[in-house]
Amino acid sequence: MHPALTALLAGRPVPLEAWRSWWEQLEQRTLGPARDSDRAQAAALLASLTTRLPDPSTLAALTASLTERSPDPGPPVPGSVNIVGTGGGPATFNLSTAAALTAAAMGIPVVKTGSRAYTSAAGSVDLLERLGITLSAGPGATADHLAEHNIAFAGPHVYPPQLTRLARILFPLTLKPFGAFLNTLGPLLATVPVTAQLTGVSHTAPLDALAALAPTVRGRALWLAVNTAGADELLPFADNTLHTPAGTVHLPAGSVAPAAGTLADLAPRPQDLTAHFLGALQGRAGPTATHTIALNAAALALASGRHTRWSAAYGQALDALADGAPRALTERLRTHRKAAAHA
């Protein structure tokens, strides 16, 4: 058993060099069928991290050992932003993706990261696949999508390749049992060319651990959002708190958007996934959905630096939804993929 795993299972600190050695060992394996010992060690590693996060120094070393192996995303686009959540909170439809499209329709450059569903009915990648929207295949494609559409949905290339290596070693096991850990750390591992990131932290994710890691995230200012409902999005009917590099921002229920509504109004619609989502992008999924999307889009506007006042950003988001601009942007993205497929 590798010393990094031995120390982790024993509850001892694991330094950066030990993590580097672990990943180097994995990289030396062939791409053929994994040996039983390799699969067992990979499963033990993820199971331990999923059961209980390690001490702060070990977690920081683990994160650094992964991100230093990630590809260079290129220079950040000025005033650009990403929105992503940790998952694991109350079930809602794909609000962060809707907010990303709304912010992009408002003129804010957005590079959206996400994943397939680990703990939800449909993750952002599942939704985009159903909509027929293409993920970027590399940094060049991300830049092209951003330049053409003001939004890019980043593909798996933004995540450390070691995660793909782990998945291959685990096969035929899947990563789904370890979704809680991957959802928690995933938002901090993506390397994307943005200047800011809004990360929703649900009640199941360790806010203190993420806050301690936030200053180590390279290239972008990290905003962490929590609320009294435990969701990983800002909610108009809950008390929200944003932890930003400039300090803590409190948004009591009703302070920006009307406080009416409940989580039931935001429930996922897996049987009507795309139609409900497209309706929400033009304000036709109920007032609570509209206000929630606009509130999160407003947060992206402030994080990007485009706006400095919540009321102005929120009002612009509402106008965009009323005009159907996010829906129109989505249709252009769908048409772009169809045109590329027939080129």
- Mean pLDDT by groups of 10 residues along the chain of 343 residues: 91 95 80 67 88 91 91 91 92 95 98 69 83 94 95 92 85 77 86 95 92 89 97 97 97 97 95 96 98 98 97 98 98 76 49
112: burial class by Cβ within 10 Å (0-12, 13-18, 19+)?
buried
Domain residue ranges in the chain: 3-67, 81-154+190-336
Q: Which of 48, 98, 128, 95 is nearest to 202 (CA)?
A: 95
Q: According to CATH, what is the number of the domain 81-154+190-336?
A: 3.40.1030.10
The CATH number of 3-67 is which of 2.60.40, 1.10.260, 1.20.1730, 1.20.970?
1.20.970
Task: Give the pLDDT confidence score for residue 122 in this predicted structure.
Answer: 67
Count CB-CB contacts under 10 A for residue 16: 16
pLDDT confidence of residue 127: 92
* Residue 267: both structure tokens together: 């429930």
Residue 100 · residue 300 · CB < 8 Å: yes
Q: Residue 18's CB: how many other CB atoms inside 10 A?
A: 20
Residues 217/186, Cβ–Cβ less than 8 Å: no
pLDDT of residue 342: 46
Of 205, 197, 265, 207, residue with least CA distance to 237:
265
pLDDT at 173: 78
All residues at 6 or more sequence positions from 284 whose CB lies less than 8 Å from its CB, including other chains: none
Selection from 71, 151, 163, 49 nearest residue 115 by Cα = 163
